[in-house]
Amino acid sequence: MKAQQTSQWPVPVSIAPDTLTEIQSELARDWAQVCEKAQQGQLECPKDRRFSGEAWAASQPALLAAHSYLLSARTMFRMVDAASVPDAVRSRLRFSVMQWVEAMSPTNFLASNPEALGLFLQTQGESLQAGMRNLLSDLQKGRLSQTDESGFRLGENLAASQGAVVFENRLMQVIQYAPSTPSVHARPLLMVPPCINKFYILDLQPGNSLVEYAVSQGLTVFMISWRNPLPNEDGGIDACTWEDYLEEGVLTAVKVAGAISGQKQINALGFCVGGTMLASALALAKARGESPVAALTLLTTMLDFCDTGVLDVFVDELHAQWRERQLGAGGLMSARELNTTFSFLRPSELVWNYVADNYLKGRQPAPFDILYWNADSTNLPGPFFTWYFRNTYLENRLKDPGGVSVGGVPIDLGAIDVPCYLYGSREDHIVPWRSAYLSGRALGAPVRFVLGASGHIAGVVNPPSRNKRSYQVAGGESVDMSQEPDNWLERTDTIAGSWWPDLARWLKTHSGPMRKARTRLGSTRYPVIEDAPGRYVRVRAT
């Protein structure tokens, strides 16, 4: 079990005198060098993309401010690293200092940003006026705009794969996608996205859609579209639990896909929290003597929460108790709070970059499908969230046999004995790739582990047509999970391009024989309700 963290404030913070003297001496030496270069007019742009533009290079005062800022930031982080405090406190200190440092960047203020000042003079103030209009618009929306949202339409250029909703209940809809090949594999694939976001991260613009690609490979694809619960909504959805999401969500969707396709077993793919839910649901089914899935795919999924990355700064017993008092009996964990939290995990890229461009320079952000999806987040039922937070992030019980019970039934992920394909992203800050790897040890099955380049989202959404990035695999179909992650990494081969063809090849070996594709969607028992992408995905959080 993961050691429970408790609040460790206030904690006396001290730095060894000799270490503090060394940090002060280094600061004084480096500052003297910066001042000397500034007096000689020889300051160069620092190696930081924020200060790499021509306007910075042309202004020695602006470069002095940039170098001073970066030197101060480096010194503050050195002091945090040198502080004599517990590791958990150090992580929180580093996170807090990062927030302050990123907020105080010279790029975030008109007077110290030569690019914004230059545009102000060049446009005779119109750039700042446009920035104020952008700010007012964002205040009305209640969130920072990261992309131009005007050109995206669900069902037209996002979530546009042809299909139909064939089932719905209070928690989700099930979408079946139309075949695009004359014949398809007999065993279908059900995709389980995270309920913290909309499903169409797996079905973005044409050419950038995992759904579209899977269908093109002769797979019959089903998708869960989670309902976005709203405040004061009928049906008691704000009181739904982890058990409800497994029973009424994942396992019900598995039954629907199996019944429509006429298969006793289907294949299933889970992404992020969707993967955690999927594995939990299959363990629950196993505890009942059922095996509804033949092959399991988990993308950037944690089953072992031993290392939760930067999110660990939010995890302690007092936080868990506060959330349980606030939401444990019902209510919603708001999409706005969740979205803000994830944005401030990388404030330079996801917050202050847009403050400078949108408000100080008066620019409109470029259209980007992933960032449109990122802004379209969902609320979560409080009881679901609090159970998940305590049993995974705080106590790490899910990986232990019988560590958690669902509906009074102890579950064991080790009972999942079907072939598993695990994917991690090397630069993932939400699901560190080593945690994704170690999660394979919780499963009682042969595991193929693939490590892709880039981060949590961009690493997953990497279609072959773009011919971008790379991925790493070790020899053979399965991994010796007794190896430590870094030992596995040393033995891998790097393959250029998308990892999607590797997944498609693996899935096809577990998808049964080919048969003529049926053009009719749904079945007599599960008739078509409406065209994809359905109603649920169109509901925006309020």
Q: Tens of pLDDT along 360-418?
A: 999 999 999 999 999 999 999 999 999 999 999 999 999 999 999 999 999 999 999 99
Query: In 261-350, at which residue ranges do the beta strands (DSSP E only) sit?
Result: 266-271, 293-299, 332-333
Task: Return the HEC string of 51-91.
Answer: HCCHHHHCCHHHHHHHHHHHHHHHHHHHHHHHECCCHHHHH
Q: What is the pLDDT of residue 379?
A: 96
Q: Are 135 and 359 in contact (CB under 8 A)?
A: yes
Beta strands in 57-201 (DSSP E): 163-168, 172-177, 183-185, 189-192
Is the confidence at residue 88, as pLDDT, over 90?
no
Span 289-306, pLDDT tens digits = 999 999 999 999 999 999
272 is catalytic: yes
Asked whether the predicted pLDDT for residue 188 surpasses 70, the reply is yes
pLDDT class of 11 with cuts at 50, 70, 90: low
Instruction: Give the DSSP letter of residue 181.
Output: S
DSSP annotation string for 293-304: EEEEEEES--S-
Q: How far, in Å, CA of 150 to CA of 192, rounded?
A: 28
Question: At residue 14, does pLDDT exceed 90?
Answer: no
**Per-residue model confidence (pLDDT) at position 165:** 98
- Dihedral sign (CA 23, 25, 26, 32): positive
| Across 78-99, average pLDDT | 93
Are the beta carbons of 502 and 473 closer than 8 angstroms?
A: yes
Q: Which domains does the chain have, with CATH numbers?
A: 17-122 (no CATH), 163-334+379-538 (3.40.50.1820)
Who wins on pLDDT, 73 or 12? 73
Quote the pTM value. Answer: 0.93
pLDDT at 2: 58
Residues 6+ apart with CB under 8 A from 438: 304, 306, 307, 485
pLDDT tens per residue, range 223-265 = 999 999 999 887 789 999 999 999 999 999 999 999 999 999 9
Q: Under a CB-based contact definition with an 8 Å cutoff, are residues 440 and 420 in contact?
A: yes
Name beta bridge partners: 168.
173
Question: Tell me, what's the pLDDT at 338?
Answer: 92
Q: Which of 195, 240, 272, 420 is catalytic?
A: 272
Q: What is the pLDDT of residues 509-532, one digit of tens each?
A: 999 999 999 989 999 999 999 999
H helix or E strand, kind and range, residue 17: helix 17-39
Give the DSSP letter of residue 176.
E
Q: Residue 313 — very low, low, confident or very high, per pLDDT cuts 50/70/90?
A: very high
Give the pLDDT confidence of 331-366 residue by residue, as tens digits.
Answer: 999 999 999 999 999 999 999 999 999 999 999 999
196-214 confidence digits (pLDDT tens): 999 999 999 999 999 999 9
Q: What pLDDT, on a 0 to 100 scale, did the predictor assign at position 197?
A: 93
- Give the whole-angstrom CA distance, residue 159 versus residue 144: 23
pLDDT band at 10 (very low <50, low <70, confident <90, very high): low
Q: What is the mean pLDDT of the chain?
A: 95
Closest CA to 223 of 253, 261, 179: 253
Does residue 119 contact residue 53 with C-beta atoms inside 8 Å?
no
